[in-house]
Chain A
């Protein structure tokens, strides 16, 4: 049995039974305020109740000291299905996401074949429904076949359930196509998500252009690769009134370009990945392909600028760019290995360890960038945890310390830059629509035996 299947088998099937979460702190990421109600989850709805007020048959979770936050959302994952099911499937990827505390993910369209017609959007939604793990909001391609030449049928795609449009994995080099895409998607009030890398400037580059690439003899990718596309696309937003979201911002200079655009009132947002926020190109010294991604890891000053972007709200979301690759594919020389790293299972822990525990970022700010921030970018129906609101929530253990082991991933791939790292912070309970998607073994309902019925 694969790990994601084991996880599903051993997770509580709460079914229709009410859940009671006791002893935890409820964090409102918008205000940073904490309250300590008892949380009753019934019929998919949250109720803040007085202690000890338990309905009959409720599963009672004792969670002393844990923190309840709005369900985490990752608006940038690659689930690899269809086409590369040996690296990840919709079922394994959403199980991995649930383990990482994510109640929902937005999936990218660069599968094989890509998600560029209504049937393929429906396929993703159906597979996600069958899996019953984190909810999937599919993105569809901007261009047919993600080839960057002809627009997809965006009305049809939106009708089928596409939440936004992106050729992510491929940069749209044709400025006119980008302009038309922003204009056309604007009618639907849908976001164009740009993978900003000028392919001519990138050439065959594999590492950030700087001292490390020079020293290691790795072909360079200058910052300008990203900057010119971000600047171009923002100019096109100005021209069309469309909505633009910049995926995986890697350069400090791009944050500044975004800030200026937002100051002009343009509808432009951005996301940063955990790896670009925390890691820099000094990690490349051993040529480990788990530090190879597009855009590449840049310098410490870029990490700092991205962090400042999160603090100031210029960057509204953390997104993992979860990019599973099989061990065989990644087991190669740096030049030859594919781009990308997995992220959903380590994102919260890595960021909590690297930013919150070091005092660089408030916990509430991090949680905001992993929940409400991304939901707003894509207009997803997820909000704060409120009395009477929907039960989409995540419980975090801020003290749990764990080592990231190669064999511990629920997802199918382990190409993770934090392999072997010791992290502090762990999502221990993920609830979506009132149903437990995942609970950590340390968390159990005291008054019932586990029911592995699925």
Chain B
């Protein structure tokens, strides 16, 4: 892949997305082997900089790095505990001094990885910045959809929840619309950003409408804090009027793929029944996330795209 960083899906080409997804397919095969490790990034160092708490994404990246035989170091700091401006600058200088090859970065401020990427030689992978993008999540969602349905082009995907504050929504929207899917976003108007239609999607607050004939439903987490900012009167009302329930899901395609980036608030954005529905692929998303992150690091390292598992040598000894 002819780029230094992966900061968002907005500026990826369809060819780049396809080659990442194809390469992830090869790595997905590696994850089914008894020894789930390849030597591709031996001798390379990855710094995982998490300025915002994260469990799933951090562990998924760490696992991907280990399975590529990279050395990884972790830096966890909440932005609240440090002087914000200085930290970023200091971080940049430290990264340069340590000579790391990759930076995986999660930050609470939208755009923060752009600042780092513009100032370090290392490849920067955005692991989620504010409400902006979460490109590897977008990729793993697409990877999971493609595996399950065999295509992305022509799929109808409903994204339901807090669109305004969701980096997952933005990465999904950019990626899916590029790949030819039809995207409907849905949520209360107070949680919908202005002019979201200009991103190439339709919007409705009516969950039933959004689900009508949908091939995929991607359900986003509702944060409790949204109540205090008067964006929602209560989680109870949200669950009643916007929650994805079996009744509402009847509007969707019969073999609808049910997705959620986790962690789920059962009984809020997703009912207990839907969380247990056989059509949901929420745990597949977790497994696929490792393969997709391996593919991203592998391609940013300058390796040629791969599509067959057999192309991946198992680590020796």
Contact = CB atoms under 8 A, between A and B. Distances in A.
B85 A336 contact: yes
B194 A216 contact: no
Interface stretch (B57-65, B105-113, B233-241): B105-113
B194 A331 contact: no
B86 interface: yes
B109 A336 contact: yes
Given A287-B111, A334-B111, A213 B167 contact: no
A220 B192 CA distance: 11
Contacts of A333: 84-85, 88, 107, 109-112, 115
A209 B194 contact: yes
Contacts of A213: 193-194
B84 A332 contact: yes
Contacts of B109: 333-336
A203 interface: yes
A454 interface: no
A214 interface: yes
A217 B85 contact: no
A451 interface: no
Contact of A210 (B108, B131, B194): B194
B195 interface: yes
A335 B112 CA distance: 9
A218 B110 contact: yes
A209 B79 CA distance: 25
A214 B130 contact: no
Given A286-B114, A333-B115, A336-B84, A215 B10 contact: yes
Given A209-B194, A328-B86, A215 B170 contact: yes
B85 A216 contact: no
Nearest to A212: B195
A220 B194 contact: yes
A450 to B, nearest CB: 40
Contact of A220 (B10, B112, B193, B229): B193
B156 to A, nearest CB: 22
Contacts of B283: none
Contact of B199 (A210, A215, A328, A330): A215
A211 interface: yes
A335 B115 contact: no
A328 B87 CA distance: 11
B232 interface: no
Given A217-B129, A332-B88, A334-B110, 19 more contacts: A210-B195, A215-B198, A215-B199, A216-B111, A216-B132, A217-B130, A217-B132, A217-B133, A218-B132, A286-B114, A287-B112, A330-B85, A331-B89, A333-B84, A333-B88, A333-B107, A334-B109, A335-B110, A336-B79
